[in-house]
Structure 1
Amino acid sequence: MNVSLVLLAHPRSGSTAIRDIFDLHPRLSVLNEPFNPTRGSDGWGYDFLADLNAGQQLPDILQDLKETSNGVKHLLGQLTLKQDLEVFAFFPTKFFMVRRNQLQAVASSLIAEQTLQWHRRGAPRMQDQPLEPLDLNRIAEYLDTQGTAIAQTNAFLAQHETGHQCRRIVYEDLFGENVSISQRLEITLELVRSVVGNDLSNAYIEKVAAKLDHDSNKVNSTETYRLLPNLAEINRLFGAGQFGAPLE
């Protein structure tokens, strides 16, 4: 099998779960954010970002990655936007993961950063851990940056989105609160089949179902947003327009 894929993702778009699910398959090996500046060589024993900063050409590094794995998950913003799209263009099978509601994405990220809780399961109840107001300047900066990245990535997709070789995965359609576990499993397995065909054992499907059940317990929920002291101000300033509905 000659699979070579990239998951290009916006923050808090469910990309880690999808990357993990691909990587669970015995015929796939998908590196998790090899250009993440906070990880270095952690997880794969080699610091690709250090090579890039030392002057090695990005296509040469990507070729090395392609020869040693089936692909990568890459988060927008870990390189320049031009380089992000270069990573995306390099791999023949492309998945682009994004959220419709970018305001929820930044709120979720800042809450998780504040509480160090990325999943609710096994953690203290949010009601027992009072939240501090979110930084409005950081929200504005994030939304501005992501708005530019989304526009340019959409332009790229318009040129390359052909069948299963370039697919958009929207967080709300897969991990939204109104999507059942069975629907989530069906959608996810279809994504995996688009890469490996029907080579899905019962044991693998059970692992995917367990992973999706775990990842349904995220911090980004309406019950959590209601605990923000400056929720009304956040909604007044940012809760309309291109970034999605207000936090509720």
Structure 2
Amino acid sequence: MGKTIKEISVALNEAQKYQAWMKEIEEDGRAGVQKVWKQWNNRMEKEKKKQEEHDSKVKFDASFLSSAEQLLAGIDEAGRGPLAGPVVTAAVILPKNCEKFLGINDSKQLTKKAREEFVSIIKEHALAYAIHFQSAKVIDELNIYEATKQSMKKSVENLGICPDFCIVDAMQLPIEIPQSSIIKGDAKSLSIAAASILAKNARDEYMEQLHEKYPVYGFDQNAGYGTKQHLEALEEYGYIEEHRKSFEPIKSMVEAKKERVLI
């Protein structure tokens, strides 16, 4: 008597690669068996794609170094566009053996749960990492581009190890270390993707804490971005210290307030 569909399903769930005994399953005419066989093949295809993407990112990072002893730092940011809160940057130096980071991708492509899991892995296994918060006040003083650049510079300087080369997501930094600016770097580089995860997770946590203090703006849902609910709350309650006064519509609100004071 052959195996039940449930027994076959359990065996396939435990299998990580094609094995000789699976030929019998391929030829099994039962619809239920073919269904679990198709599911297993789809899972293997996804795993294969994930491995290929990982290998491509590792190869991309290695292309910037002239020897296996050299170290690469990936740098990225989170929060350039929101109306409130800091811009957060991160720099990460990953080890040569990167299999533990399989599945790391641009932080925007990952679920919150996946980001949180990867944050733990990155912090445990990275050779060095640093996270820097640039306040709304500094953003208003410098402008968002310059504030982000200066924050990235601080992240690199705060690394416990000095890298031999830096790759930065779409930015050129005022640092002495050789560097390259990479457009859509978080989709091409494992190091930049890891930095993007650290930066986004740290910023999301900050905005969730800010929500506890100012719940009317919905920072736990919008992370400071100008959603309809956030804009309506601004209209009704006005702005707070954490709002960026150089960003519209807050800039106009600040100017209107000044005019009222002068009258």
What TM-score bracket applies, with the shorter chain setting the length?
under 0.3
With normalisation by structure 2, the TM-score equals: 0.25
Larger radius of gyration: 2
